[in-house]
Amino acid sequence: MEAISPPSFRRVLLKVSGEALMGSQRFGIDPTTLSALAEEIVSVYHLGVQIGIVIGGGNIFRGIQAAVQGIDKVVGDYMGMLATVINGLALQNAIEARGVPTRLQTAIAMAQIAEPFIRRRAIRHLEKGRIVIFAAGTGSPYFTTDTAAALRAIEIGAEIILKGTRVDGVYDADPEKVVAARRYERISSREVLEKGLKVMDLTAITLCQEHRLPILVFNINERGNLMRLMRGEPVATIVHHEG
How many other C-beta atoms lie within 10 A of the C-beta of residue 52? 26
The tens-digit pLDDT sequence of the chain (243 residues) is 444 566 789 999 999 999 999 988 888 999 999 999 999 999 999 999 999 999 999 999 876 665 567 888 899 999 999 999 999 999 999 999 999 999 999 999 999 999 999 999 999 999 999 999 999 999 999 999 999 999 999 999 999 999 998 889 999 988 888 989 999 999 999 999 999 998 999 999 999 999 999 999 999 989 999 999 998 898 999 999 875
- Reduce the secondary structure of 33-76 to three states and give it as a string: HHHHHHHHHHHHHCCCCEEEEEECCHHHHHHHHCCCCCCCHHHH
The strand ranges marked E within the chain are 11-16, 50-55, 102-106, 115-116, 131-135, 160-165, 170-171, 183-184, 186-188, 215-219, 236-240
Q: Which of 38, 233, 54 is nearest to 153 (CA)?
A: 54
15 three-state secondary structure? strand
Q: Return the pLDDT at 110.
A: 96
Integer CA distances (angstroms), 200 to 15, 56, 75, 93, 231, in order = 10, 13, 23, 27, 24
d(CA 38, CA 14): 12
Q: Specify the amino acid at residue 32.
A: T
15 in Cβ contact with 146 (< 8 Å): yes
d(CA 241, CA 205): 10
Q: How crowded is the C-beta side of 192, counted as CA atoms within 13 Å?
A: 28
State which amino acid sits at residue 172. Answer: D
Q: What is the CATH number of domain 11-240?
A: 3.40.1160.10
The answer to whether 162 touches 13, Cβ cutoff 8 Å, is: yes
Q: Quick check: 21 and 56 in contact, CB under 8 A?
A: no
Q: Determine the pLDDT at residue 139.
A: 97
